[in-house]
Structure 1
Amino acid sequence: MEHWKRTIEAGNHCFAAGNWVEAREHYLQALALAQVLYQRWADADAAVAAFVVSHHNLADLHLCLGQPEETAEYLCASHERLLQSVADETLPQALRDAALRHSRTTYLELLQFIGEHGAYPRTERLLGQPVPGSPRTAPATSRRYH
């Protein structure tokens, strides 16, 4: 977990400095760590949080780069994996419970994104239908996750 935290912090530092390429590299490394260790961390809530934060930081980065469809992909990937985890009876109950708790946040982030930037094919597939009256707009100020 400490290695993941240091990697995210390095990405956040690069992001704040406007070094998008380095920030993306750190965030991708953090995501890879979070994916590999998703079912292995002793603290299920921390494992799920790391997974979500990694995806959402990448989503924020792509939004700053004017790539809202990539943003939608990362937001959807995070939410979809949590929903799959909740339904997967082979996973430990603590991980399933943590996925359920964090899925509320990922769902709200998706709805906020759609409200600000419009629906995209993956958001429509994941949520089942387009959100009416959700115009695509210029990227809003990014939210930072830690």
Structure 2
Amino acid sequence: MTDAPQDHPQTQGGCQCGAIRFTITAGPGKAGLCHCRMCQRATGNAFAPLYEVPAARVFWEGAAPTEWASSNISQRGFCPTCGTPLYLRTDDTFEFMAGCLSPDFPFRPQDQGGMEARKGWLDALPSLPAHTTRPELLAVVVSHQSKEN
């Protein structure tokens, strides 16, 4: 496995409510997983699936993200309306949360970092039963999320 950036197509993305939208132009990027404690807390999850691109390839539409300095070297961006975590930013790089990217984006992690904080229970995932969402639940849920990507 290589950790060199790979070429990816242009993609779009945004937050749950649709107030924040962005476009990432085609070019090199790197998909990875971060298990560090900061990413766990920032996402409220076991790890953060991140797509790293140069800031010069990111174009914003709609509302501006709100940022919080999660460390002395980075900012975390999120939607001030719905709270969706969007990215980790350094001076010249954005690392977007994979769930914010268009569903057809070819996100294929190239590496994993922060392994010192990786949750051991992740090892059991391949052996757990898997199922789709129950149709009777889908029939009554009315989503308030944006219909865009």
Point out which structure has higher relative CO (alpha carbons under 8 A, 6+ apart).
Answer: 2
**Which one has the bigger helix percentage?**
1
Structure with greater Cα Rg: 2
Superposed pair shares fold, TM > 0.5: no
TM-score bracket for the superposition, by shorter chain length: under 0.3
**Which one has the bigger strand percentage?**
2
TM-score when normalising by structure 1: 0.25
